[in-house]
Structure 1
């Protein structure tokens, strides 16, 4: 990331953000190292750092010994310097977290339920904020804002078991409703974009500059990161891989072109198990299956690997990322198994080799990424658009199959 700034007086605010961003991404750093990274004079760095320390955003953590001369003082972001709330609203759960300035989770409220309606979400979100305040997990004066991670077309896509009432999300003023329960800035983005942001700041993004993130949640999502910055596209929907065409082989060995969103998702895995008499509705239940259940999951993962290998090859040929990351609410063991099977399938089919990794931030990836948005904005990092979710006309029957049994 380029942190070069200016010593001109009119650029003081920008230089302050550059220094904060450099410490956030590269800590611990000395004042001398900051000057080199930001392209500022040592005198300018000294003034900015002193002010950031006085404001409680940066701390002088320790002295660096073992070198010649006066030991350098290492600078880090002060965890107590600011806080952020992030919420992931999805078709099968609601997760709300509060994090400190370093991204450490201070509190978490989670509800495992399918198809929350808007009014239910607002009530539960308000309760979560009250819980954080009551437990004194948040310094309201240092709250950078609230981030919301929401799948695109939440109330429109015809997923398994979607009730008619769920269409209420389509015209729901999410920003207005949340602003009515908190005075702090509200940031909204797609759940996969948010998960990718969390991975940039707290996961493999600290080592891999360009990657494509596949979010394995109730439905499948994706996000492209280029040189440490999410590429959102002209319409804000870059990474929507649900429409990506892949080939499905039927029982007669005949290939059919399908959209990967119709074949691969947590809801579709649950539906596969349901077809064999096993009712599973949560990741925890999925992880606790007996031998027969695990065998059925392995069977599904082996099939899914073929679709995923083809999709990943398309992504690699178009975007050429350093790696493709898979994360989300799918249990870690299953993601690892899926990656192994996908690599095998790629080799078998002679597809272009692609580096696959499990994302570091998994189950709460989208909620953590949502919380990262206000922090990124305050720190001057590439942050989410604070506007409404960008939406374009698109009808996709993701995860469409028989509705779940009661």
Structure 2
């Protein structure tokens, strides 16, 4: 027997990219809104005053005063095994990998540890209002098994993949082209398309895979419908020089992936801070996406992403936390840093554009905007309740706000996990503060 439920609060969601339409036409806002959900799907959305009289008396209404309902946040780049090293001191990318990342990932050889970390990791995502993420596992098959098993029990729409890495890493963290291919294939058969789960072919980055492994990864990417491809690109200048040394016959970093068939719809390249114009053009024409990871780009000193340049070329862009080089699971904190990254380049990040990047923009980058990203009827009911009174400072600041834009901007700049009152996945509460 199906049961409708309704949720009453201020409600805000994006209907389009503010870059493509007038900002005021890019979103819907209901000061006193009502969201009606049935069987995990949004069935109605509008003004509570107009909808309540027609609502059947048996429908329960949860009311959230001094709160804002938005779609669940979407994280287009994050690492499952790096929670334990978040906030580690004093390294740039390549040293960071050697000093912190590889030792942390080696612990996932233990299946019990992998299960415990998957539970912790997903709990942190939900505590921060993130309902969908594109996730790096480790080279160990059990890291992805543990992640998918836990995500399935919560009915989350998640994407993940086993890392492919057959060189330039500790022996305990390397596979071979053949074993990586076969392990990935086994995971795809078991998890891809099960419930709300998707698989991503996941070469760590070009320097840690031989051409043979990249070729098999490209083959795998084409063998199954709707697979994802998830890797890193042009994060750090030293890294780019290393790629040139390792692949002297290729015309740059992106061409390494392109040559091996690792580009196209549902390919997501994390960072892209130092992409060339021709690479931006190639990403755009193939429907590939870039994950903008401002907190990690600042933390590792990698550089400032030129968002305007990517968008001028027509590249799809989502928002990523990149935990553990990223310093917070909160997409509100990611947007706080994104605003500053763009300020340093003379660009502005309008708060409605910021919300778009964290919700509908992420969904479009992942080719999931037919399912998630906003709260239109027919979409999956992934949403978050944000508390305007979460901290004394936030409460005071919002009491001074005169417009929705000002309120939203203050919420982004001052907000973090404390703001998230409740998180829903497919209409079911999966986190309560």
TM-score bin (small chain): 0.3 to 0.5
After TM superposition, the score normalised by the length of structure 2 is 0.33
Larger Rg: 1
After TM superposition, the score normalised by the length of structure 1 is 0.35
